[in-house]
Amino acid sequence: MSAKSVLSICLDDSPVLGGLSRGIRDMADALGGQILSLDSGRLPPSQDDARWNIRRVDVGRGLLASRHLRLRQPVAAAIDAAIAQSSLVVCHSLYRAHLPFIRRSCLRHGVPYWVVAHGMLDPWVVSRHAGWKRAWLMLVGKRCLADAERVIFNTEAERAKASPWCRPGNALVIPWPVDLPDVSDRARCRAELRRQLGIPTTDRILLSLARYDSLKRPLHTVAAFAAASQPGWHLVMAGYDGDLTREAVEQAARLQADASIRVLGPVEGEAKPQLLMASDAFVSLSWRENFGYSLADSAAHGLCGAYAPDHDLVADMPEQCRRWVAGDHSLCEARRMLHAMLTTASTIREESGHVGQVWAKDRLARGRFKEVVRQEAALRLQES
């Protein structure tokens, strides 16, 4: 690779964005360089800018600018200047004005660029505000994707579902990485969490780790667990506020009259792996997930899981990890699936979790991710 560095460009980098923000950092961690965040001020910024070499550009507060539908001239000039000094540009997010501008600038400067899809070409996503998104794809998006050196997907199912908009020659599947935990401290983590939450030491925890957003369906999760609840099991939920608040989810739990549900705020840093190690199983009833970092983290920590359909990563996991996948998105099916998992012998749950942990160590290790990304970057830059 040349002496110039890699440039990653994203919109409104913020911890509230969960997996999107984490993916931006994982890619930057593998390739180095600078992250250029085009900020509207609508989301709280991260607190780790110096660590990740993040430069923030204020896009303006006008209606079009703040929604990233138009680039003001100073913003366009800043992006163009940064691209001119780069060896590779990695672009995150679709359906906004930055991507066609990046395409034109990269072609003019002879700089290759990648597009990381982040699930945004999933038919479910395209169907939301479909008129706008299909028009964007037809008018500018398909050209942006066609001229990209690589379009990065994170599961085979995600790539297949995006095929109407992408050419197969530049599509590449690279699963996001997870940090493989040291589980030797599991017993202490289990005892400490149960002490903090007032849960008996012998009781089990079903963990939901997701933003409180209608896409993730936390209210559905509360209702399904309350319907399937078994003695000795507790549902622990943790996440940032989305279009729902923690308070709204807590209220739903109280209305279920189920004291076995605990609703927490966001859990980050060292507290997150400790929460995973303290749990016994994982649940995700989201409408859809193209990857699902929380699901991947739970597998790495050896947790069996209960999943709604349309979780793309689940299809890439071993069969033993797919014992409890709902047949549809109904409450009845979610209750049936959860009841089946919660009443299954612990040895079978542990076996499923162990198989998932071995798979995660093989497929999702950070070292493997970095090796694949760096090799691909070196190859594409040599070709260009």
Q: Is 54 helix (H, G, I), strand (E, B) or coil?
A: strand
Q: How many CA atoms lie within 13 A of 98 on its CB side?
A: 28
With helix as H, strand as E and coil as C, how does 26-43 read? HHHHHHCCEEEEEECCCC
Query: What pLDDT is recorded for position 262?
Result: 95
pLDDT at residue 183 in the model: 80
Average per-residue pLDDT for the chain:
93
Q: What is the CATH number of domain 5-176+365-383?
A: 3.40.50.2000
Residue 280's closest CA among 336, 357, 349? 349
Tell which CATH architecture fits domain 183-363.
3-Layer(aba) Sandwich (3.40)
Average pLDDT on 333-338 reads 97
Q: What is the distance between the alpha carbons of residues 93 and 119, in angstroms, rounded to a whole number?
A: 9
Which tokens is 334 given? 């979610």
Give the pLDDT of residue 268.
85
3-state secondary structure labels for all residues of 192-232: HHHHHHCCCCCCEEEEEECCECCCCCHHHHHHHHHHHCCCC
Comparing CA positions, the residue from 289, 290, 236 lying closest to residue 260 is: 236
As annotated, the residues of the chain forming the CATH 3.40.50.2000 domain(s) are 5-176+365-383, 183-363
Count other C-beta atoms under 10 Å from residue 363's C-beta. Answer: 17
Which is nearest to 19 in space by CA: 211, 195, 181, 198? 211
| Complete edge-to-edge strand list for the sheet that includes strand 261-264 | 261-264, 233-238, 204-209, 281-284, 304-307, 324-325
d(CA 382, CA 370): 18
Taking a C-beta distance cutoff of 8 angstroms, is the pair 247, 218 a contact?
no
Q: pLDDT tens across 59-94, in order?
A: 998 889 999 999 999 999 999 999 999 999 999 999
Give every strand in the sheet of 34-39, ordered side by side.
54-58, 34-39, 5-11, 86-92, 113-116, 150-153, 171-173
Angle at which helix 293-300 crosses helix 271-278, to 10 degrees, equals 60
In our burial notation (b when 16+ CB lie closer than 10 A, e otherwise), range 364-376 reads bbeeebbebbeeb
Per-residue pLDDT at 240 exceeds 80: yes
Q: Which two tokens stand for residue 52?
A: 């990740």
What integer is the mean pLDDT of 193-201? Answer: 95
Tokens coding 34 = 């600078």
Read off the pLDDT band of 229 (50, 70, 90): confident
Q: Report pLDDT for 382.
A: 55
Is the pLDDT at 1 greater than 60? The verdict is: no
pLDDT in tens, 155-180: 999 999 999 999 889 999 999 999 98
Q: Which residue has the tokens 């076996």?
A: 351
User: Long-range contacts of range 266-272, CB-CB < 8 Å, 24 or more positions apart?
Assistant: 266/15, 266/238, 266/239, 266/240, 267/209, 267/238, 268/15, 272/209, 272/297
